Amino acid sequence: MKEIIISNKNANQRLDKYLCKYLSNAPLSFIYKMLRKKNITLNGKKSDGKDLLKKDDVIKIFFSEETLEKFTKGEDSGKDNKISSYYNKIYKDLKVIYEDEDYIFIDKPVGLLTQKAKNDDVSLNELLIAYLIKNGNLKIEDLDTFKPSVCNRLDRNTSGIVACGKTIKGLQELSKGFKDRTFDKYYITVVSGVLTKSETISAKLTKDNKLNKVTVNNINSKATDNYDANTEYIKTKYTPIANNGELTLLKVKLITGKTHQIRAHLASINHPLIGDYKYGDNKLNDYFKKKYQLSSQLLTAYELKCNLNNNDYTIKSEIPKLFLSILKGEGLWEPGIQEDLEEKH
Q: Which pLDDT band, with edges at 50, 70 and 90, does 223 fall under?
A: very low
- Band (173; pLDDT cuts 50, 70, 90): very high
CA distance 111 to 125: 14
Beta-carbon contacts of residue 20 (< 8 Å; ≥ 6 apart): 26, 28, 31
86: closest CA among 153, 143, 137? 143
Length of the chain: 345
Q: What is the CA radius of gyration of the chain?
A: 24
The predicted model scores a pTM of: 0.88
Q: Name which of 254, 263, 261, 302 is nearest 105 in CA terms.
A: 302
Most distant CA pair in the chain: distance in Å?
A: 76
Per-residue pLDDT at 224: 44
What is the sign, positive or negative, of the torsion defined by CA atoms of 325, 326, 330, 332? negative
For residue 211, pLDDT over 50 is answered with: yes
**pLDDT of 135 over the 80 cut:** yes
- The domains found in the chain, sorted by start residue, are 2-71 (3.10.290.10), 79-180 (3.30.2350.10), 184-343 (3.30.2350.10)
As a whole number, mean pLDDT of residues 272-289 equals: 96
Average pLDDT over residues 51-67: 94
Would the CA dihedral through 189, 195, 199, 202 be positive or negative?
Answer: negative
Sign of CA dihedral 134, 138, 143, 149: negative
- Give the DSSP per-residue string, 260-294: THHHHHHHHTT-PBTT-TTTS-HHHHHHHHHHH--
CA 260 to chain centre: 15
- Cα 59 to Cα 22, 51, 102, distances in angstroms: 11, 12, 22
What confidence tens digit (pLDDT) does each residue in 69-122 have?
889 865 555 677 888 999 999 999 999 999 999 999 999 999 999 999 888 899
Which stretch, 20-29, 64-73, 190-199, has highest mean pLDDT?
Answer: 190-199
> Residue 134 contacts by C-beta under 8 Å, 6 or more apart in sequence?
87, 88, 91
Q: What is the pLDDT of residue 225?
A: 47
Q: Which helix (H) or strand (E) holds 240?
A: strand 231-243
